[in-house]
Amino acid sequence: MVNDNAQATRTPLIAGNWKMNLDHLQAIAFVQKLSWSLGDAKHDFSQVEVSVFPPFTDLRSVQTLISADKLELGFGSQDISEHDSGAYTGEVSGAFLSRLDVQYAIVGHSERRQLHGETDAIVGAKSAAAVRHGIVPVICVGETAEDLEEHGPSAVPVAQLREILSHLKASDEIVVAYEPVWAIGSGQAATAEQAEQVAAALRAVIAEVLGDDRAAATRILYGGSVKSDNIARFMREPNVDGALVGGASLAIDEFSRIVQFKKHVGV
Ligand SMILES: O=C(CO)COP(=O)(O)O
């Protein structure tokens, strides 16, 4: 049985997935402004962790800025190779990412599943590669509108996660992001109840495959049309520990309001 009080020990994570937006010069200006905005708002990073996920080509610049200015922002990559080195043209190794202090790597985003044919087996191998290099995989799962109609909300994400977790061990730190494909970029977010129902089912699968301790410790994010006016609803749910934000993470004021959901929307 997963400990119901565990949510208090999970620091919420608000993650901004920039997708293929902002070059490295734009990224520097953006991260500086975001950090000023959160500084002006006296954001307490020990209460809500904030991480950005820029394109690969921005990572070195973002790392340099964050470390030089001692910013409390975290950062991650949007993908990672399942291989460590060798003849894999275009792939980026976790070994290289960890040299850049990358903390997180998104794996299995639905855009990569749809556009690049990534399967759960590949996503599992990528998750294991991240862990091998000390990087926390942010494992994305979610159902399409057709899946939802045919199987209901939980069946597909649960099956995806079960396969992916079979590549991992109980000691591996992970983050899971529930992103219903129909909610991504559509302006039509899931309801908080839907997100909670699926997050609870995902936590149960983590308990089943990796044990209760890993399930209690794992942050489960919701993603799909998250905005400052709906974030509070999700964050009130006991199994939702943060958000993976796409479009709204590219507007500094809006992303900053999302990060400060406690202040602005009275959770
Ligand atoms: O795909 C997403 C984050 O990974 C969600 O995108 P939107 O927030 O733009 O719907």
Cα–Cα nearest to 242, from 209, 195, 204: 195
Rounded to the nearest angstrom, the distance between the alpha carbon of 156 and the centre of ligand 1 is 19
Contact in structure between 109 and 78 (CB atoms under 8 Å): yes
Rounded to the nearest angstrom, the distance between the alpha carbon of 185 and the centre of ligand 1 is 6
pLDDT tens string 185-217: 999 999 999 999 999 999 999 999 999 999 999
Q: Whose CA is nearest to atom 3 of ligand 1?
A: 246
Residue 19 labeled ligand binder: yes
184 in contact with ligand 1, CB cutoff 6 A: yes
CATH code, domain with 113: 3.20.20.70
Range of the domain at 209: 4-265
Q: Whose CA is nearest to atom 6 of ligand 1?
A: 246
Gap between the Cα atoms of 57 and 194, Å rounded: 36
Q: What is the pLDDT of residue 67?
A: 96
Q: Which of 43, 82, 109, 118 is catalytic?
A: 109
179 in contact with ligand 1, CB cutoff 6 A: yes
**Number of structural domains in the chain:** 1
Residue 225 labeled ligand binder: yes
Gap between the Cα atoms of 54 and 106, Å rounded: 11
Residue 246 labeled ligand binder: yes
Q: Over the Cα atoms of the chain, what is R_g? A: 17
Using CA of residue 232, residue 234, residue 237, residue 238, what is the dihedral sign?
Answer: negative
Rounded to the nearest angstrom, the distance between the alpha carbon of 1 and the centre of ligand 1 is 31
90-115 core/surface letters (b: 16 or more CB in 10 A; e: else): eebbbbbbbeebbbbbbbbbbbbbee
157 in contact with ligand 1, CB cutoff 6 A: no
Q: What is the pLDDT of residue 203?
A: 98
Structure tokens at 146: 């057709």
pTM equals: 0.97
What are the residue ranges in the chain where pLDDT is below 50?
1
**Interface predicted TM-score (ipTM):** 0.99
Gap between the Cα atoms of 144 and 38, Å rounded: 34
226 in contact with ligand 1, CB cutoff 6 A: yes
CA distances from 131 to 13, 44, 81, 98, 231 (A): 19, 28, 12, 10, 29
Is residue 167 annotated as part of the catalytic site, yes or no?
A: no
Residue 3 labeled ligand binder: no
**CA atoms within 13 A of residue 189's CA, in its CB half-sphere:** 24
The best mutation among 14, 17, 254 to test binding of ligand 1, ranked by most ligand atoms within 8 Å of the C-beta, falls on 17
